[in-house]
Each structure stands twice: as C-alpha cells, then as structure tokens.
Structure 1
Amino acid sequence: MAKITDAVDPGNAGGSVLIPEIPTEPNRPLTFKCNKCGEVFTDREARRQHIFDQHPFKRPQLLVGSRMVKERGEVVASPFPPADWVIQQAERIVIDQQEVSSRQACRRLSEITSGFHEVTLTSADYSVTYHIEFDIPTEAQLATVERVFNTLIVNQPLESDRIAQFITVAKQEDGARYYLEGVSDFLYGVLAKDQRGGTSLGPDDYSAKYHAAREALRFLNRPLANLIKALVNFNDNAFNEAVALAPGGQVAIACQVMNGLRSGKHCSAPDTRIASDHSLPVDTLTAEIMRFCSLPLAEQQEQLPQLVHLASKRLTTDHDRVKIQALAMNTCWEAGDHEEATHWTKKLRHSPLFEALATRIIEDVENE
C-alpha cells in the first residue's frame, strides 16, 4: 500500500510528515460487563437492569424512634432505649473513632446524654457519617420550662416582650434548651400569623416558626410539646398526624371533623357545646375553626357568617381558608340548605383535600 503524506507544517522547519499505516481489525461486537459479578451483556440497558435487580445499592441507615436520623444538624433531646436505635445495611460501625458492633452501638447511643458525637456506618457500597448533638435534659429542667410557661404565658396577653421574658427566666433557671426553643418558636409563630403582640416578624414568617417548633420538639414526649406539634400539623392540614399527638379534646374533635370531610363523609355536629381543654395560646383562625367544630349545629348555622368573613381576610392562609370552606359546605348541607352547600362545592371541586365530599354533594343534588 502506498504511503500517505500529510502536508501539515510541523513547525518552523517546513516539510511533510508521514502518517503510519493503521492496522485494520475485524469488527468485534460491543459488550457491557457487570463490575460486580463479571456477567457480560450485549446492551447497556440489560446491564443496568441486571445491576438494579441483582446488585441493589445498599446505603447504611440510622434510625431512632422509627425516624431517619439526619446526617447533619441532628439533635437528640429526649432519651431513647437501645431498642429504639436501629442500624440498617451497615457492615462496619464506628462511634467517635471507635469501632463497635451493632448491639454495642445501640446501647452506647442510648447512654449518651450530652455533647457532639460522630457515627459512621459503612456498607460494601457506601459510607455515611452522622453528626449528632445530644442534649437530653433532666426531669427538673423540663419541669422548669413548664412551670415558667404556666406562670408567664398561661392566661396572660401574648406579646413579644412576654415571650422574651419567658425565655430569659427559663434560661436563668436552667430550663431545657430545646424544649424552651420549641415552645417559644411556636409562640412567636402565633404572633406572626396574627400580626399582633408587637411582633417584628412578617405574616409569612409564621410557617417557619411553626416548623422550627415542631422540629425542636419532635422527640419530646410531653403534653405541652405534643399539643404544639399537633397544632402545627393541624395548621398544615395534616390531620392524622395531629390527632395522633392530641387524641382527646377540642383539637382531636376538629381533626376528626376534618378527616371525615376529607374522606367524603358528612360530619354531624356535637349535641352540646364542647369547651376548650387547653390553655396554650393559638392563632385566631385556628382557635375559631376548632371552636366552630365543637358547636352544636344550630350554633354553627348562627356563627357561620362570622367564620366565612374571616376566610376573606388578607392574612388568612390557604390552609385555613380551605378548612373554613369545607366547614361551610358541610354545615349548609347538614342544615338542609343544599343550594348554599352547592355554592361551596364550586370552590372545593378541585381541592386535593375535600374534592371527594364536594363531588358527592354535587351528585346528590343532581339526583334529587
């Protein structure tokens, strides 16, 4: 075969450079090899499916109290027995640079009460390190927060200065840090949502405060902490989670009503008025919605215009507005005012929460 020259200037010297002959090889079929077991496949998709089916990715996981532990920023502010700590998919466990067995790890984690600690879990495929702060208060520290709360907050006008005083006094008396933060964040959220009490927070800041409160209190099993978490969930229209935390009283009644409406069922009003059973300050709309759910039907009819008026307010959130609309629809239907009930169905016909009941009322009216 004749040599081929390429007239490419190699530099200042000029001239030409010979390109060497390229040996030819017969075409070979393209294959894809599994790097786990060596099995060979004729196409990439077949190998991907094989890996997905036969070699699933195993990522270690650490759970406490049936909840996933966050890798960073996790705070454990409540004691858990060894059985509540669960380690999954880990072949090697290291706590604070000391390798331990799974049983030893769970026992060790249940005994830590303070400080920052590092837990590294390693599997064949992955290694993950958890940075956990333990700040587990004593019973006396928890009781201090509740005592100061009862003294300074219960049955008192809720104002920013009073919340600041509550924080100052509880800190001076060595109250539980995260319990105090959760309670105060919730109280600040109430002021932000209502835009009252001398708050400097904007109306949109209430949600961040509520969620910070729920996060700070998430492992704390105390009546006050559980009630706050229930009210935050109720505010977010997470009714099942709310009623699990507050299984009795006015909060539970409101959740049961809302859950019934969400499942497409009409809810009958109670025969007699049910009084509030808690002294925790709540925002105006939540208080009105819960109170409305606790009224007999005649009183619900009488007070419905006032509730509906609140729904038209500028500060009313979408979560609260849809609850009020669902209550208005149900009350009108239960009172026999089907025309007005149908009016409310038009607002809820495409609601993810109350579409089922709205559709049912429309069908019932059409079939009359």
Structure 2
Amino acid sequence: MAKITDAVDPGNAGGSVLIPEIPTEPNQPVTFRCDKCGEVFADREARRQHVFDQHPFKRPQLLVGSRTVKDRGEVVASRFPQEDWVTQQAERIMIDLQEVTTRQACKRLSEITSGFHEVTLASADYSVTYHIEFDIPTEAQLATVERAFNTLIVNQPLESDRIAQFITVAKQEDGARYYLEGVSDFLYGVLAKDQRGGTSLSHDDYSAKYHTAREALRFLNRPLANLIKALVNFNDNAFCEAEAQAPGGQVAIACQILNGLRAGKRCLAPDAKIASGHNLPVDTLTAEIMRFCSLPLTEQREQLPQLVHLASKRLTTDHDRVKIQALAMNSCWEAGDHEQASSWARKLRYSPLFEALATRIIEEVENE
C-alpha cells in the first residue's frame, strides 16, 4: 500500500533549502515614554507615577456660592451675583452652544432667571456639560410661600390635610415652586418620622422626604429654608453643616453641643433655659433632643430618664439614639456621676461620631 507521503515532493531531492541571512541587532531595552512631555522611563510604574505627579487629570468644574454644580439635574432657584459663579480648569466655555469668555460666562449665569440651559466646560483632557434648570422666583413669590406657611402651619396642629392646604394656597398665589416643594416635603417627612397627622407615608419614607427637601432648598438663602436644611443635617448627625445653617435658639445650641461632643470636648449646659426661637414643626425626637440641650444641668439630670426612655422606642432611629446616648454621657459626667457617664461611654466606644470623647471618659474613670 502506498504511503500518503509518497505523493509529496520534498523538493530539492529531499535536501535542505537555504534561507536568506537575517541581520542581527543587539537587544534594545524596553522603555516607556510619557505621552504628555516625552520623558522616558525604564518601567511602566515609573511612568504612571510621573503622570500622576506631573500631569494630574484636570476635570473642569462649575461652582456657585462655593458649592459644586451637579452636571445633570441641577436646579438653581436663587439668584447669585457674578462673583459667586466660578469656573475651574476650563480652557473653553460654551453656554447654549455659544462660546464665551470666563467673565462673560459668569455674568451671563448671574442674569439667567428661567429655562433649561447647557454649560460646557472643556480642558485639554476632558469636557463636561452641565444641564441646569433656572427657576428663580421673585421676592413676591418667595413671600407668598412664607405668608401661607405662617398662616396655615405656624402654631397649628401638623396634619396631612393642612400641608395639602398650604400647598394649594401657595400655588394659587403663584408661590416659588422649589421653595414650596422643599418646605412641604420637610413637613411630610416630620409626619412620616412620627407616624402621625393622618400620614399615608411609612416611617422609612421620612429620610427620603427630608433629603428631597434639603435638595430643593439647596441654593435658597432664606431663614426658613436655612432652618430646614439645618434640621435635616442635624437629623443626619452632620453637626458641622447644621451648625453653619442654624439660625439661633434651641437649634443652634443643640448643634453646638453635639458638634462639640463629636470633637471630643465635654460641654457645659446653659446657665438658663434657652427659648426655642423658631416656629417650624419638627418631629418628636428632634424636639426633645433640642429641648434637653437647652436646659440647665439640674433640669437635664431630672429629665434624662424621660429622654432615655424615648431612645428605646421602636420608631427611634439610630441617628437619634446615638445623639441621646452622647447627651446622657455628657450630662452624667458634668453632674459628677462618673460611673454612669462611663457606662454610657462604653455604649459609644466604637461610635464613629463620639468615640474620642467616650474613650477619654472611660480612661479617666479607670484612672481615678
């Protein structure tokens, strides 16, 4: 039987085939060149570190009132002067597809009062487009919301129907839309957190309502708006932000005390009871915490059991519970009950907010 290879012509009578001579070159070291400046590095990591240090990525940014503007879904509901608009790392600027200088951009943005607008900032590395809705109310529209609030909410039982009436009246009189939404969302959040006033919201809905309110009022600089933002931050235990926005009275005192405790400082109680200083309805726990902070030390000690009892309630949030524990720890220490203060401190030993003060109190009691 013939083999398969019998039909294959090996060529050159089965001999070898000469190949052209290939010139040889000495091995060249592998190098890594920077695309930005051309500098050469021996390895990839060295080039990466060089780019990180010498050519950092520069993303353009748009700021207003010292706050970063969101690139999508931003609403500007308050007028800002030209100097409050700032562009960073931008080599080219376009507003509604028209190229402008930095000065022209800031002036233009300070003059827009309504409508949807696109602002594009470009650098050599990156381009970002901001989609901004301007809905800046007049002073009369702002006053409409505040007048309806004072008439229908202040010193009245807070109920869902009353909030709905407040919204209806303000809308009929052409009130400021985002101001109205921010105030009403906060009020609905109060009802949800307390589960009262005929609310159909669940307890868990309160946080979303609070945060929606804060976002709606983000750029609004009015006493009522600032108070709501302070209370939402206080609820979230963002005491620094809350203290910066707190207008005074019990709100300011509570922010100062808890911010001090967070910084690791024991705080003295007021010499005399501090009046509330605001007429905004708040949830029960926030009201009790602020009221407790405004009391002299003797009254704090008398009312501490009542505050602690509230901490054990089913609807008490973790944010409120840790505030109560910190206030109890501070109150006991200032009253000279160091053992009880140490007991509260052990509950807060691993708290990211009050760990520093709790650890300090535990150590001082152990070293007595």
TM-score w.r.t. structure 2 length? Answer: 0.92
Whether 1:235 aligns to 2:235 is yes
TM-score w.r.t. structure 1 length? Answer: 0.92
Quote the sequence identity (%). Answer: 84
- The answer to whether the 8 A contact 2:159-2:196 is kept is yes
Whether 1:220 aligns to 2:220 is yes
Compute the displacement of 1:28 (Å): 3.3
State the partner residue of 2:109: 109
Q: How does 1:1-368 map to 2 (within 5 A)?
A: 26=25, 27-368=27-368
1:79-110 residue CA offsets vs partner (Å, 9 max, x unmatched):
01110000111111111111111100100000
Change (3 A) 1:128 1:25: farther
Change (3 A) 1:146 1:28: same
Q: Which amino acid aligns with 1:281?
A: P
Change (3 A) 1:166 1:37: same
Q: Which amino acid aligns with 2:180?
A: L
What CA distance in whole angstroms lies between the structure 1 residues aligned with 2:9 and 2:121?
A: 62
What CA distance in whole angstroms lies between the structure 2 residues aligned with 1:36 and 1:21?
A: 44
Compute the displacement of 1:25 (Å): 5.4
Change (3 A) 1:41 1:161: same
What CA distance in whole angstroms lies between the structure 2 residues aligned with 1:347 and 1:15?
A: 89
Aligned length: 356
1:210-250 residue CA offsets vs partner (Å, 9 max, x unmatched):
11111111111111001001111111111121121124211
Change (3 A) 1:17 1:60: farther
Q: Runs (4+) of structure 1 moved beyond 3 Å?
A: 14-18, 20-28
User: What SS does the corresponding residue of 1:253 show, helix, strand or coil?
Assistant: helix
State the partner residue of 2:15: none
State the partner residue of 1:10: none
Compute the displacement of 1:41 (Å): 2.1
- The answer to whether the 8 A contact 2:78-2:137 is kept is yes
User: What SS does the corresponding residue of 1:342 show, helix, strand or coil?
Assistant: helix
What CA distance in whole angstroms lies between the structure 1 residues aligned with 2:310 and 2:95?
A: 54
User: What SS does the corresponding residue of 2:206 show, helix, strand or coil?
Assistant: helix
Q: Which amino acid aligns with 2:105?
A: A
What CA distance in whole angstroms lies between the structure 2 residues aligned with 1:366 and 1:17?
A: 96
What CA distance in whole angstroms lies between the structure 2 residues aligned with 1:323 and 1:158?
A: 25
- Stretch moving more, 131-140 or 119-128: 119-128
Compute the displacement of 1:367 (Å): 2.2
- The answer to whether the 8 A contact 2:227-2:247 is kept is no
Compute the displacement of 1:38 (Å): 2.4
Q: Which amino acid aligns with 1:107?
A: K
Change (3 A) 1:31 1:366: same
Gaps of at least 5 residues in structure 1 are 1-6, 8-13
User: What SS does the corresponding residue of 1:203 show, helix, strand or coil?
Assistant: coil
User: What SS does the corresponding residue of 1:164 show, helix, strand or coil?
Assistant: helix
Compute the displacement of 1:307 (Å): 0.4
User: What SS does the corresponding residue of 2:204 show, helix, strand or coil?
Assistant: helix
Aligned residues: CA RMSD: 2.2
- Stretch moving more, 39-48 or 103-112: 39-48
1:254-302 residue CA offsets vs partner (Å, 9 max, x unmatched):
1111122222222222222222111100000000000001111221111
Change (3 A) 1:28 1:161: same
Q: Which amino acid aligns with 1:147?
A: R
User: What SS does the corresponding residue of 2:118 show, helix, strand or coil?
Assistant: strand
Change (3 A) 1:25 1:283: farther
What CA distance in whole angstroms lies between the structure 2 residues aligned with 1:293 and 1:79?
A: 36
Change (3 A) 1:281 1:28: same
Q: Which amino acid aligns with 2:68?
A: M
